[in-house]
């Protein structure tokens, strides 16, 4: 199974900050990397697919990059509604696996 490791596990930031979350795969997954946002008590929501493609309706302050084993999710200017938990997920092979999550909290 491909292991996905996110860092940091939690992060405190302020509205307007630029934030970067990292995801590392245990083997190369090309660009088969997706990012989801989850708010408490809600289902995850797709933000980025294929490492860098923005899902329709997602604000442009979200961006993704990387390929192979190292990936990043960047939020260019944090908004109040962005405080949530973020997960990366590989779709290179089955079983599909997720990172452990990064909890983004208000400073």
Residues forming contacts to other proteins in the complex (CB under 8 A) are 32, 34, 36, 43-46, 49, 55, 87, 89-92, 94-101
For other proteins, the closer of residues 77 and 100 by Cβ is 100
Question: Minimal distance in Å, beta carbon 18 to other proteins?
Answer: 25
Question: Minimal distance in Å, beta carbon 49 to other proteins?
Answer: 5
C-alpha distances in angstroms, 19 versus 29, 39, 93, 104?
Answer: 24, 17, 29, 9
For other proteins, the closer of residues 13 and 46 by Cβ is 46
Question: Minimal distance in Å, beta carbon 63 to other proteins?
Answer: 18
**Tally of CB atoms within 10 A around 23:** 28
Question: Minimal distance in Å, beta carbon 43 to other proteins?
Answer: 4
For other proteins, the closer of residues 3 and 16 by Cβ is 3
């Amino acid at each position: 199974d491909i292991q996905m490791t996110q860092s940091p596990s939690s992060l405190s930031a302020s509205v307007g900050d630029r934030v970067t979350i990292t995801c590392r795969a245990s083997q190369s997954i090309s660009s088969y990397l997706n990012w989801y946002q989850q708010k408490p008590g809600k289902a995850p929501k797709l933000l980025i697919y294929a490492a860098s493609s923005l899902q329709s309706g997602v604000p442009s302050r979200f961006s993704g990059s990387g390929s192979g084993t190292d990936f990043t999710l960047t939020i260019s200017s944090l908004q109040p509604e962005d405080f949530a938990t973020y997960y990366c997920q590989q779709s290179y092979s089955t079983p599909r696996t997720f990172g452990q999550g990064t909890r983004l909290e208000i400073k």
